Structure formats: C-alpha cells, structure tokens
C-alpha cells in the first residue's frame, strides 16, 4: 500500500510525534495552518469516517479534548475531510489550536 500515513505509522517516514498509543498516532502537520496544527491518525488504515464503526471517532474526540485541555487551548477546531475532499485517503482529523470564530477553514 502506498499510503503516506501508513508509512508514517510504520516509521518509514519521519514525523514529529505529539502522542502515540496502540491505536492512534498524533503528529505535527508539516504545513501548519494554525499556531498548533496536529493530525490525529488511526494506525489502522481506514479510508475515512465512512469506514469507521464509531469507535475510532470516539477515541479521536477524547484525545482531541485531552490535548486541548493539556495545552490550555482557549479555542480549537477539528476538521475531517472525507471522500474526494481528502488529500490523503487515510482517516485523519486536523486539530487546529488557537483559531478564532472569524477564521476561514
């Protein structure tokens, strides 16, 4: 499989890790769009949310909330692109920290 996130999970491509457990890896985005821009990536290859049974999505939500609290983020945004909207066809969520309500996505 030629999936960039699968290669990152396997350690074949270096990344700046923020967190890792047996199911999820969180890395810093290489092209940040906010003062804090993390990618929350399931280790299991899922195309997008449509292939999840809800368990991964729930884990991502819990981790995002924990990161926001741990980093004292006053505001943050979670973005998940699915189908043709996704640049990489491996489920992931962008956590953008410190964004304002007026900021465009």
| Structural domain contains residue 104 | no
Give me the active site residues, please: 92
The structural domain count of the chain equals: 1
Q: Is 10 left (phi over 0), alpha (psi -120 to 50) or beta?
A: alpha
| Structural domain contains residue 35 | yes
Residue among 16, 26, 14, 4 at smallest CA distance from 88 = 4
Q: What distance in Å separates the CA atoms of residue 82 and residue 94, rounded to the nearest whole number?
A: 12
> Which structural domain range is residue 29 located in?
4-97
Predicted pLDDT of residue 98? 83
Predicted pLDDT of residue 77? 93
Q: What is the pTM of this model?
A: 0.93
| Structural domain contains residue 105 | no
CATH number at residue 92: 3.30.428.10
Predicted pLDDT of residue 105? 59
| Structural domain contains residue 51 | yes
Asked if 18 and 67 count as a contact pair (C-beta separation under 8 A), the reply is: yes
| Structural domain contains residue 103 | no
| Structural domain contains residue 32 | yes
Q: What is the mean pLDDT of each run of 10 residues along the chain (105 residues)?
A: 93 96 97 95 96 95 96 94 95 91 65
Predicted pLDDT of residue 100? 73
């Amino acid at each position: 499989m030629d999936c960039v996130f699968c290669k990152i999970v396997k350690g074949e491509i270096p990344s700046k890790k923020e967190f890792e457990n047996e199911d999820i890896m969180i890395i810093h985005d290489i092209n940040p769009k906010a003062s804090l821009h993390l990618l929350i990536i399931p280790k299991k290859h899922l195309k997008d949310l449509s292939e999840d049974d809800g368990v991964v999505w729930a884990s991502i939500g819990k981790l995002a909330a924990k990161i926001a609290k741990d980093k004292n983020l006053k505001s943050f945004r979670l973005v998940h692109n699915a189908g043709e909207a996704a640049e990489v066809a491996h489920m992931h969520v962008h956590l953008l920290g410190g964004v304002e309500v007026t900021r465009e996505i």
